[in-house]
Chains A and B, each alone.
Chain A
Amino acid sequence: MSESQKKGYKEIPIGGMITKAGSSAEFKTGDWKSFTPVWEKEKCIHCMICPAYCPEDCIPKKDGKRLETDFDMCKGCGICAEVCPVKCIEMKEQGDSDE
């Protein structure tokens, strides 16, 4: 956020209070990661273990299939790669990623 977008002391709630529920969704944590999960879609058996384990809840699901990780949110913790029973997720250093 640029300096000019930040609010002044008269505009913000008192005591550092956050008055909007679920506002953490606006906080993009994707740039925290140094490792990126690279998913081999073809190898995936859609067992749904990785979305259940993902602490950031950033692996979307649709019609019984998992979709590509939301990289705006993924912190690169590697839990998905660890729990995958068919090893179709590999953690790669940011620079190595095809993305």
Chain B
Amino acid sequence: MSKKKAMTGAEAAATAMKQINPDVVAAYPITPQTPVVMKFSEFVNDGEVDTEMIRVESEHSAMSACVGASAAGARAMTATASAGLALMWEVVGVASGSRLPIVMNVVNRALSAPINIHCDHSDSMGARDLSWIQLYSEDAQEAYENTILAVKLAEHPEVQLPAMVSQDGFITSHGVQNVTVYSTDKIKKFLGERKPIKALLDVDDPVTMGPLQLQDYYFETKKQQDNAMEKARQVYIDTGKELSKITGNDYGFVEAYNLDSAEYVIVTISSTAGTVKSVIDKMDNPKIGLLKIRMFRPFPYEEVARLLEDKKAVAILDRSESFGADAPIYGEVKNALYNAKSHPKLQSYIFGLGGRDIYEKDIENVFESLLKEDIEDKKRYIGVRE
């Protein structure tokens, strides 16, 4: 039986973790991730999960503990944000390089300096090349479902890669919304137990993990990681179809909204995609649409190219910067279109850094500019004072 509840995005992620019932959770609190772990530790305290909760002294240790647990054969999870992700950086690469399917909720927050606790995507976008699968959630419901999906995807024998599930700090993590929570029994059945290919605690089949590899083999190991990422595409689709039997929801690489009839499109991720939908509904113009990217790593180049190549103009809204270079989503969309049969005009927009509010009026203005094909070959910044 599914239940309809009012909860924050943070509670939704913690609820997913409760149903996943990981063997080990190691985490260190950081705003705005704190309520995820706070809520989960309540579940631990109340005996609602069997999880070994490790209270570590830093995020570097949190990820280290997850690496150890996952290598031992456990299902390990953590959550972090911003400076926490930055501090664990070294071990984030160890997790993926060692092919450990750890799942981490990232509650997106700006990076210091200047110090700022509010939402942007600098933290996880900065980690986009660390060989972690990345899913971005529009709302609490998606954060809940993506967390469950990510575990099965990460642990798939052909994938064996860690996964980050992102939601917008405060906007999603601290806002109360409607969330449908599915039957724990069904989720448990969907996930099953983790079946590691090799585990350090398997004394009958001893292995060494994390050894030295120099010029002779390191390169081959990295090639394997890229192959696993490529395989993750189909596994994601298949796993999504399986989860869909419980939830009734679709899990595409992207979500198209009013896209068939649209000639002018906004591409974005996370909660702002919801705001764009709302503006599309209000503007009531069949020529405008949204392409929401759900999976950023691996990046769905084919789908993005196929859905955008016949459009007239596309605005890509990034909530993070790549200083002196194309913003992360914009750069990928541009890449995707290079081999396409035709090319829409593209406009890069940076918005919402450090939690700067994005209003419906801002989105309307972007659509108005698109409709006029008012495009320039440089980044535009929404709401930055001159």
Contacts and interface: CB of A to CB of B under 8 A. Distances in A.
Tell whether any CB of A sits under 8 Å from a CB of B in the complex. yes
A16 B216 contact: no
A64 interface: no
B221 interface: yes
B197 A16 contact: no
A41 to B, nearest CB: 37
Given A9-B221, A9-B224, A9-B227, A17 B208 contact: yes
Contacts of A19: 198, 205, 207
A17 B223 contact: no
Given A9-B223, A9-B224, A9-B227, A16 B217 contact: yes
Given A6-B216, A6-B217, A18-B211, A13 B198 contact: yes
Given A6-B216, A6-B217, A8-B220, A16 B97 contact: yes
Given A8-B220, A9-B221, A21-B206, A16 B213 contact: yes
A18 B208 contact: yes
A9 B208 contact: no
B207 A18 contact: yes
B294 interface: no
Contact of B217 (A12, A21, A23): A12
Nearest to B197: A14
A7 B160 CA distance: 21
A17 B207 contact: yes
B209 interface: yes
Contacts of B114: none
Given A6-B216, A6-B217, A19-B198, A14 B208 contact: no
Contacts of A95: none
B231 to A, nearest CB: 12
B311 interface: no
B210 A16 contact: yes
A14 to B, nearest CB: 5
B98 interface: yes
Contacts of B205: 19
Contacts of B223: 9
Contacts of A8: 220
B293 to A, nearest CB: 28
B99 A15 contact: yes
A63 to B, nearest CB: 32
Interface string A20-51: 01010000000000000000000000000000
B327 to A, nearest CB: 32
21 contacts: A6-B217, A8-B220, A9-B220, A9-B224, A12-B217, A14-B224, A14-B228, A15-B100, A15-B209, A15-B210, A16-B209, A16-B210, A16-B213, A17-B99, A17-B198, A17-B207, A17-B209, A18-B208, A19-B198, A19-B205, A23-B208
